[in-house]
Each structure stands twice: as C-alpha cells, then as structure tokens.
Structure 1
Amino acid sequence: MLQLLIYLRYLSVAGQMLTVVFVAQRLNLPIPARALLSISAGLLLFNVLSHWWWLAHREAGPRALALQLLVDLLALTALLYFSGGPANPFVSLYLVPVALAAIGLDIAPMLGLTVLTAALYTWLMGHHVELPHLHGSDFQLHVTGMWVNFLLSAGIMAVVLSRFMTIVREQRRSLSEARERAIRDESLSALGSLAAGTAHELNTPLATIGLLVDDWMSGDHPPAREDLELLRSQLAHCRDHVRALAEMARRGAAGESSVEPGDAFVHACVDRWRLLRPNATARFRGGAAGRRVRVDPGLQQALINLINNAADANAAAGVDEPVEVETGMREGRLNIAIRDRGAGPARIARPRRDHPGSGLGIGLLISKSSIERSRGTVKQSERDGGGCVTEVELPLVAEGAA
C-alpha cells in the first residue's frame, strides 16, 4: 500500500504543479502561484524521502501509512487554503485520504483521520484565500474543474481499489496454500501418532518374544510346544498391528474418516485390546445407544492405548480386577470412562519401565494428540476407593450426516 501511495503522490505533485502553471500562465488568474508551488515542492521532497525510506526497509506498518496520509491531508488543506477553500472544485479530493485510510488502517486511526478531515474542511469554510473571478466565465471554469476532479478521483480510486483487490486475491491464495499445508502437516502428524501407537502396542509381544528366546538360549532342552504356540501368537499380533498401521496410514494420508455408533466403536476397541492382552480383562457397558461419532484415523488406537494403560496400572498395583469401560452422555457429547484401580493419575508423570509390558511411557501422549485432532478432550481424576478414571469426550454427529 505504501509503495502505491508513493507512486500516486509523484503523479499528484506533477499534476498540482502543471495545474498551477496552467492557471497562472494560460488563464492569467492572479493566484498565489509561488505559495502553491512551494507546497507542492515540499510534498515532493517528503515523497522522495519516503521513497528512500521504503527502499531501505521494504515494509511499512499502520503507523507509517497513517503518517503518509496525514501529510497528504495537510498538504491538500494548504493548497486549498490558497485556492478558494471549499469553493475550489478539487475540494472533494479530501475523500481520497479517507478512502485509503478505510482500506489500509485499523478502525481507530481511520476514524481519527476521518474526523480530522471533517475538521479541516470545516476550518476552510471560514479561512481561505478567495479565488479571483473571471466575469461571465467563472462558473464554467468551476464546472470544468469539477469534471477534471471527477476524472482524477475516479482514476485514483480505480488504481487503489484494483491494487487492493490484487492484494486480497494474493492473500486468499496464500491462505488456501497455508490450509493445504496444514492438512498435509496434520496427516503427517497423524501418521507419526499411528506409528508411535503401533510401537507402543508391539512393545508387549516383542518383549514376550525376547523373553522366550533368552530362555531357550540359556536352556539345554528344545522349546516346548506351548512356548512355540505363544511365540507364534505373539508374531501374529505383531503382523496384525503392522497391517493395521498400514491401513490407518493410508486412511490418515487421505484424511478419511467414518461415522460409527458410539457404543459399537468403543466395544470394537475393547475387543481389539483383548486380542492384544489375552491375560487381562475388561468389562464394557454401553450407555449411548443411537449416538454416533466421527472416527478419524488413529482414534481407535488412542482408546486402546488408554485401556492398555489402565490394565498396566492394575497389574502394577497387583489388583486382579477388570478394567471398566463405560459410555454415556454428558452435555451433548459422548463420554467414555475408563476406570482402573492403579496408583491414580499421578502415575502418568512417572510411567513404570521396570518390567516388560509396562509400556514406553508415551501411550497417554499419543492418545491425547489423536483425540484432540478428533475435536475431543481427555481428562483424568481420582477414582472413589482408589485408582484413576480417564474420561474421553467426543463430539456427536447429527442424524443424517455422513
């Protein structure tokens, strides 16, 4: 905006000087030409300094633009003072700084400049140098001046507004590109969470496989059939998790999501967790029949991580109780409560790492990231009688939405 204003001011100063010379030499009107040319020369000097400053900095804030418009306003007032004041047909040029302020400034400086313009116009009504009259032809000159003023104002506004619309289109294009980058970054973040979640799930079967291999290497007897079956089962778990990661990665890259009944979705998460932890137990109770949620890539993994954390807490506390998973409604959102009898919420800040299956200490971080991307929330609180309650709230999908 400042660059455009500087270039327009060069044209304006040239037009002012040519108009003064034309009126004084060709029309032979006794106007104060020296004072008018001095004002234009001063404005030209200010414009040269402003141009030099802009070339050195290449950026200008609202204060710089407001200063430029203020100088233009004062220079125009001085020119009008020596050339008839409100009787000058070019008095409507006062609207140009106001229009530029409305486009380029915030509301407060724009209103201030508008009030100042009105005050200066009012002041000119009682303080100005009268224009000399040419008998019989002065009104026609006034009409001609109004016509020239209209052409000049229309040209300035056309240039300014076209430049402004170009800036708006560029900003819209930049915003669209930024939105696309944000979507790509979101997909990459989702893929990272999915990869971390799969690593979290693979930790237990891989630890079991490592224990079996160490036991076989330290023993003199071949592995028992039961151990081989366990090894085969754990390898199948690893293979299934890797396949699930590949599928969720494909959905995450494509930004795909699905709408599912809340109870059925949570129940499916519990069933998948049972395959991961066949020696642990969980009890599910649905209380949101008919309610649906949008399932983004990684949301299932997030809930499985939370259930797994609850099972780890029970195991670490030596409690032989199932993890309780219950769905319900709270303030128009699906509420998923996961209850355990572990050490409470404080354990999350100090995850156990002293035995296989205790996790990598990242399950809650992964879950929070995925749930927040699904516009949900996670919070933890103490459970009555000891333990922790992890509550997940997810927005519902209206009936008929896909």
Structure 2
Amino acid sequence: MNLLLQSSISRVLLLRSLAIVVQFVAVLICHFLLELDLALPSLLSVIALESVFQLLSVWLLRRRIRRNERVGSLSIVWQLLADIFFLSLLLAFSGGATNAFVSLLLLPIMIAAVTLPVRHTMMITAVAIAVYSGLMLMLPEHQGTHHMAQMRSHFIAMWVNFVISALVVATLVSALARTLARQQKAMATNREEQMRAEQLLALGNAAAQATHQLATPLGSLALLQEELAELTAQDKGLAPVVSELGVPIKQCQQQLNLFRQRAGQLRAAQESQGGHYFCCLGDLLSEIQQAFALQFPAQRLVCNGFDGLKAQRLRSDPLLSAAFLNLLANAVRANELVQQTSIHMTIKVDNDESHWRIEDLGGGFNSEHLASLGSAVMASAHGLGVALWLSNATIERVGGRLALGNVAQGACIDVFIPMVRG
C-alpha cells in the first residue's frame, strides 16, 4: 500500500468528519438562534447521507489497510468528488451562489493540487467550476430594480473570481507541490548516496588495513616455503607438496600487489584527471581475462562480440576490472554448485553505450536476490551481497548501471557502461 496516499486519504476523511460536525452545528444555529428561513429537513437529510457515506468510507479504508490492499489516487479522486457533491447540495438548499460559503468549493481543489497528479487535479477543478456555474444558473431572475441588477453583477463577479482562484490554485499549488516532492526525492537520494559512500569508505579502510596486516605474514610464509623447498629438494615425497604450497602464497602476493597498483591508479586518476578515467575496451578485457585465469584456473571464460571493438574507449575506473571480477566470481560459484565450467561474456555497443552480459550455467537468481542484490548489502551463504553491492557502486560511479536476470541456462548479469567518442 502507498503510505503517502493512505495518509492523504486519511486526512481527507478526518476533514470530512470535522466538516460534518460543523455543518450540523451551523444549520442548527442558523435555524433556531438566527431564525433564518432554511430548508431544514433537506439540509439535515444531506448531512445524514454524508455521514453514512463517511462511515462507509472509513470502514472500507480500514478493511483495505488490514488486507494490505492498494490505495490508488482514484480513491482520493472519488472522495473529493463526493465532497463537492455534498457541498453543492448543501449550497443549493441554502441560497446557492448567494451563500457566503460557496468559496469552500476551493478546498477540494487545494487538496487535489497537493496530493494528486495534474490530470486529476484539473478534473476536480473542472467539476468544482461546473458546480459553481450550475448554482449561478439557479439564481432567480430579478426584474425592474437597479439594486437587483447590481447584485446579479456582483454574483457574476464572484463567479469570475472563483474561476480565476480555482485555476491559480490548481496550477500554482500543484507546481509547488511537484517541486517540493522532487526536492524531497533528491534529498533522499543524496542521503542514500552519502550513506553508501560512508559504507564504501569503511569497507575500503578495512580492506586496506587487512592488506597491510597480511603483507608481513605472507612474506614470512614465502620465505619459509623457499627454505622448505631447499630442504626437501631431494625428498620425492615432500617436494611436490612444498612446491604446491607455494602456488596459493604467490597468488596472495599477486593480489596484494594488484591492490597496491589500483590504489596508486586511483590517486593518479584523482590528481591528474580530476577523477575522470578512461581506458580501451581491449585493455580492460585483457586485465579481466588475466585475473580470471589466475584466480579460477578450473573455469573457462568464453568471450564473444569483442572483435573490432577492442580499440574503442569507455568511461572507466581503476576498480572497474575488479568489479567485473566480482561478478565473474559469483558466476563461478553458481557453476561450481552444478559442476559446470563455462562462463560466457558478450559485449555489444549501441547508442554510445557498451552492454556487457555475463551468463553462467548455474541455477539462476531467486526472487529475493533479483529484488535486492546490487542495491544493498544482504546476507548470503555464498558471499553474493557485498560483492555485487561493491560492483554496482563502482559501475554507477562511471555512469553505468547493473541489472540482474535469469536465462534458460542459468543467471545473467547485464552491465551498461558509457563509451567515449572522439
């Protein structure tokens, strides 16, 4: 249920409840204390009908809230049309256009301008003007006296004033409400971006600290492995084991060196290019393929559609290749769960934008992942949440976007990155 619309319709119902009480008290005071000649039975009948409609509306709204049903803008439209209808009946039985409270027809227009789309606001405005015009046509024809002619001119001037006021309220208030809504949306977006930047900074600091702390023990392990290799060189049983031990140590050292290189690239891009960074598509692809082959030797990365595009430039970031590697790592995990070894990566360039698609042969994303992955950090037994969230943040930083989906073979991740022309 739209909470904003629910709040708006609740306020409309509250205002109508207050209006019913005020109408009832005002009719009694005018008839019994001021001794005005009113059509009391007709007025009380309209108020009673309005009260029944109000009770029915409140009951329906509460039932929708309990059932978590959708409350659309048309619900408010019908409520405002009902307000105009009941007010027009009350005015018709108490003087019509000569009633001083005829200007209350502006209230539904004001509420519509603040809460409803422009087309609905204009419809409410047209109905209110039509009701006022109908009340004007109900004015009796007065013949003879100059005073009566002046009063009729006065009522016509009031009608013109109402029409102008209604149009001004419908346009000006509606425009101000839209502007305020856009500003609030922009502020909310900025707050979300600031929170995400703070989270990214915290993760970056943690990664830098972990890298610094791992460098020394990794160096010590490398030295110990080399010494063990020398001591067991003649031992045919231990030599292969010690040699195999050096492979993950070298991989960890390479990853640490790559982290340092990217940190340097980030500083250089910030200082020399004001934060703007570009690269050739072929260079990015080569870096991705090398890192993939190093980290996932048991998997095969099949690249399609890159012929003739490798020289083209695209907006980039020193961490863009790491973002793609995170996406490929998730595809590798999906493949491993179903004993598959092929991952396909395809690229197309269209309308100054490159479209990268990564497809695996796993089981695909479930509905929860499709709704949340990439936009927020979420818990996952396979580490999907943080990796995709970081990748999405990097891709958005270069003006791109990320989309998740499923295909017949498994899951697919679409990445769109702007190209650089000229």
**What TM-score results when the alignment is normalised by the length of structure 2?**
0.50
What amino acid is aligned across from residue 395 of structure 1 in structure 2?
A: F
Contact conserved, 1:260 with 1:292, CA < 8 A, in 2?
yes
Return the alpha-carbon distance in structure 2 between the equivalents of residues 290 and 160 of structure 1.
Answer: 55
RCO comparison, higher one (Cα < 8 Å, 6+): 1
Return the alpha-carbon distance in structure 2 between the equivalents of residues 154 and 315 of structure 1.
Answer: 70
Return the alpha-carbon distance in structure 2 between the equivalents of residues 101 and 173 of structure 1.
Answer: 20
- Closer/same/farther in 2, CA of residues 117 and 165 from structure 1, 3 Å limit: closer
What amino acid is aligned across from residue 254 of structure 2 in structure 1?
A: H
- Closer/same/farther in 2, CA of residues 216 and 184 from structure 1, 3 Å limit: same
73, 76, 84: which one pairs with 2:88? 76
What amino acid is aligned across from residue 370 of structure 1 in structure 2?
A: S
Return the alpha-carbon distance in structure 1 between the equivalents of residues 132 and 330 of structure 2.
Answer: 73
8, 15, 37: which one pairs with 1:33? 37
Return the alpha-carbon distance in structure 2 between the equivalents of residues 205 and 281 of structure 1.
Answer: 30
Cross-structure match for 1:243: 260
Report deviation, 1:138: 0.9
Return the alpha-carbon distance in structure 1 between the equivalents of residues 298 and 250 of structure 2.
Answer: 13
Contact conserved, 2:278 with 2:316, CA < 8 A, in 1?
yes
315, 318, 324: which one pairs with 1:294? 315
Report deviation, 1:267: 1.1
Does residue 375 of the first structure (1) align with residue 401 of the second (2)? yes
Return the alpha-carbon distance in structure 2 between the equivalents of residues 158 and 146 of structure 1.
Answer: 18
Contact conserved, 2:280 with 2:313, CA < 8 A, in 1?
yes
Return the alpha-carbon distance in structure 1 between the equivalents of residues 72 and 332 of structure 2.
Answer: 57
Cross-structure match for 1:179: 189
Contact conserved, 1:98 with 1:114, CA < 8 A, in 2?
no
Cross-structure match for 1:345: 361
- The structure whose Rg is larger is 1
**What TM-score results when the alignment is normalised by the length of structure 1?**
0.52
Map residues 53-202 of structure 1 onto 2, 5 A cutoff: 63=75, 66-67=78-79, 70-80=82-92, 83=95, 96=106, 99-100=109-110, 103=113, 104-105=115-116, 111=123, 118=130, 125=137, 130=140, 135-148=145-158, 167-187=177-197
- Closer/same/farther in 2, CA of residues 364 and 347 from structure 1, 3 Å limit: farther
Report deviation, 1:194: 7.2
Return the alpha-carbon distance in structure 1 between the equivalents of residues 116 and 333 of structure 2.
Answer: 59
Contact conserved, 1:325 with 1:336, CA < 8 A, in 2?
no
Structure 2 unmatched ranges of 5 or more: 1-7, 63-70, 234-241, 366-380
Aligned pair count reads 352
What amino acid is aligned across from residue 82 of structure 2 in structure 1?
A: L
Does residue 260 of the first structure (1) align with residue 279 of the second (2)? yes
Does residue 270 of the first structure (1) align with residue 294 of the second (2)? no
- Percent identical among aligned pairs is 14
